[in-house]
Every structure is written in structure tokens, then in C-alpha cells.
């Protein structure tokens, strides 16, 4: 579905007369197969948006090759537009002053979707995303969550096999976020839509993506599944132990007690050490009221990766 080889994007920035060349994307290669749900992560300015813009044909790569849905995005931008859906979380593709329904009608004409097909698809999306109550409301009066659902609908009316999302959950409240995530999951699972998701919200990635790509300084720092990512960066698991009474720090070989707060203690278990053995050792030597093992969350993992 997506094939990127050695893609490079340079910009020349002129500020107060000085020209500086900035390499936003510095030779990345990856492929995304049909039906995949891929998370694309990276700190600000790492090259995420530039990649998305190259994939959608908004920007032309300085060198390297980019192919999306069998097309060259930079040369066949308008043809490609019919085969992909794009959502920018930070700005709407809808028209501010038009009621949502009119925006969607305009989209129908732009994509030349047949009226009957459009109605069926709109009904389906209206139900899935709960658009009913605000279809007649001008876009500028919609809440961020409603607008995002409208944008998703607009991107999917022509039933594209590939959906590219740039920060779709940014600024959304918990409920809207959950609606959007559930919807994306169903779209991927039931209709087989390939989804590339750029996000800062690691919860999105943990909930949705089978595969994660991390870009840093314009280069791919990681491409693989989440579990492997966790082991790759060797993030520690944390054992939280509630003792019967406050005690001095627990001492176990290979395990570090990082924090003590009354009867509660935090122990970090490095990869390669059996957590069950550690739990057993703690239980043998101390009177334990409760015990919990926390997997490293993706935030720790990614931070570690960026720091390397």
C-alpha cells in the first residue's frame, strides 16, 4: 500500500538573510502492507508531518522514491486523492461556514461519488460516529470532538482503502477520544482499511497499532511491534510491593529498590530477570499485603529511545 525508499526532504530556510538548509526527512525507507494499522511516532520536528505530506503528494521528495496505492504521489496527486483519505487533526478539511451536511455534499461532488452510494455511506458513518445531532450545524460551531468525527466522515465518504491520520486525537476529551479509537479499530478490522496514524498520544498506539515506526531527526529509529520495542530499549518493569508495615528497603540481587513510601516500595526488574522469581523472593522474606507488576509504558520506552 505504501512503499518508501530512501526518501529525503530538504528545506531551505531564510531567516534574517541567512539561508540554512534543513533536512526534515533524511533517507527513510519502509513499506506498509494492505490492512495494516501502523502508528507513526516522533517528537516535534522529527519529520512526521513532512513524511505525511510526501505520502499525500502535498510535498515532493527531494530524492528517493515514494509510492502510495501504486501511484507516485507527487506526479499523480489528484488521482491518488481519490484512493486515500487524509485527516489533519490540527486543521479541518471542512468548510468553516457551511453546515456539516453541506461540507459533506461538497466532498461528494469533489470525489464524484454517486448520490445513492453517498447516501448509504453517509448513513453508515452517521450511525458509527453519531453525527446525527450536529449534521445541520455550521462547522465553526462544532466542538473539537464533533469536528474530528466530521473530518473522519469527510475522509471516508469515498471509501478509500488507505486512511492517513495526522494527530487525530489531539485535544480531544476522553469520550471523543474513545469514540474515535473504537471507530478506527472497527474500520481497520471490519473493512480492512489500511491506516497510518501519526500521534503524540501513546494511548492511541497502545490501543490500536500492531506496528510502530518511530522517526527521530529525520531517520527511522524503530520499525516493529510494540513488545519488541519494549525489549529493544530494555525498559525495566516495576514491581510495586505493599508490605504489612513500613520497613527498610527490600534487597534482592539484581533488583533495585527505587522508592520507599511508608509500607509501599517500588522495585525495578531489568529485562532478563524472571519477575515471578522476584515476586517469590519478596514474598518469602517479607509479609506482603499486595503486589503489582507494571509493564513499562510506551512513554518510558519512547523517551529512552529518543535519548539513545
Residues binding another protein (CB under 8 A): 9-15, 21-22, 24, 44-45, 48-50, 53, 56-60, 62, 74, 77-79, 81-82, 84, 86, 88, 90-93, 95, 97-99, 102, 105-107, 109-112
Nearer to another protein, 85 or 296 (CB): 85
Minimum distance, C-beta of residue 31 to another protein, in the bound complex (Å): 22
Nearer to another protein, 27 or 263 (CB): 27
Minimum distance, C-beta of residue 210 to another protein, in the bound complex (Å): 25
Minimum distance, C-beta of residue 141 to another protein, in the bound complex (Å): 13
Q: How far apart are CA 10 and CA 23, in angstroms?
A: 4
Nearer to another protein, 93 or 268 (CB): 93
Nearer to another protein, 21 or 284 (CB): 21
Minimum distance, C-beta of residue 74 to another protein, in the bound complex (Å): 7
Annotate 56-77 with b (16+ C-beta within 10 A) or e (fewer). Answer: bbebebeebebbbbebbbeebe
Nearer to another protein, 62 or 232 (CB): 62
Minimum distance, C-beta of residue 102 to another protein, in the bound complex (Å): 4
Nearer to another protein, 44 or 274 (CB): 44
Minimum distance, C-beta of residue 223 to another protein, in the bound complex (Å): 21
Beta carbons within 10 angstroms of residue 259's beta carbon? 12
CA distances from 82 to 85, 101, 133, 161 (A): 8, 20, 28, 10
Q: How far apart are CA 77 and CA 57, in angstroms?
A: 5
For 203-271, the DSSP string reads HHHHHH-SEEEEEETTEEEEEE-HHHHHHHTTPPEEEEEEESS--SPP-BTTBEEEEEETTEEEEEE-T
DSSP code at position 195: E
Q: How far apart are CA 129 and CA 140, in angstroms?
A: 19
Amino acid at each position: 500500500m505504501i512503499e518508501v525508499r530512501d526518501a529525503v526532504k530538504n528545506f531551505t530556510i531564510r531567516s534574517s538573510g541567512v539561508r540554512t538548509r534543513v533536512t526534515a526527512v533524511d533517507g527513510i525507507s519502509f513499506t506498509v502492507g494492505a490492512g495494516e494499522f501502523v502508528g507513526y511516532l516522533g517528537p516535534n520536528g522529527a519529520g512526521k508531518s513532512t513524511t505525511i505530506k510526501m505520502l499525500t503528494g502535498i510535498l515532493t521528495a527531494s530524492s528517493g522514491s515514494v509510492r502510495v496505492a501504486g501511484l507516485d504521489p507527487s506526479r499523480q496527486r489528484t488521482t491518488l486523492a481519490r484512493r486515500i483519505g487524509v485527516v489533519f487533526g490540527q486543521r479541518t478539511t471542512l468548510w468553516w461556514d457551511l453546515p456539516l451536511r453541506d461540507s459533506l455534499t461538497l466532498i461528494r461532488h469533489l470525489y464524484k461519488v454517486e448520490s445513492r452510494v453517498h447516501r448509504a455511506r453517509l448513513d453508515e458513518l452517521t450511525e458509527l460516529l453519531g453525527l446525527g445531532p450536529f449534521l445541520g450545524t455550521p462547522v465553526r460551531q462544532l466542538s473539537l470532538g464533533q469536528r474530528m468525527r466530521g473530518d473522519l466522515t469527510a475522509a471516508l465518504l469515498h471509501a478509500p482503502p488507505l486512511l492517513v491520520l495526522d494527530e487525530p486525537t489531539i485535544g480531544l476529551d476522553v469520550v471523543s477520544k474513545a469514540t474515535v479509537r473504537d471507530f478506527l479499530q472497527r474500520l481497520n478490522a471490519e473493512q480492512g482499511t489500511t491506516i497510518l496514524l501519526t500521534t503524540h498520544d501513546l494511548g492511541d498506539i497502545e490501543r490500536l497499532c500492531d506496528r510502530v515506526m518511530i522517526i527521530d531527526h529525520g531517520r527511522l529509529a524503530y520499525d516493529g511491534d510494540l513488545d519488541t520495542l519494549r525489549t529493544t530499549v530494555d525498559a525495566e518493569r516495576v514491581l510495586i510491593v505493599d508490605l504489612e508495615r513500613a520497613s527498610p528497603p527490600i534487597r534482592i540481587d539484581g533488583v533495585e529498590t527505587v522508592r520507599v513510601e511508608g509500607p509501599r516500595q517500588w522495585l525495578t526488574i531489568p529485562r532478563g530477570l524472571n519477575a515471578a522469581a522476584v515476586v517469590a523472593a519478596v514474598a518469602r522474606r517479607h509479609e506482603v499485603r499486595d503486589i503489582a507488576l507494571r509493564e513499562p509504558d510506551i512513554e518510558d520506552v519512547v523517551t529512552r529511545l529518543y535519548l539513545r
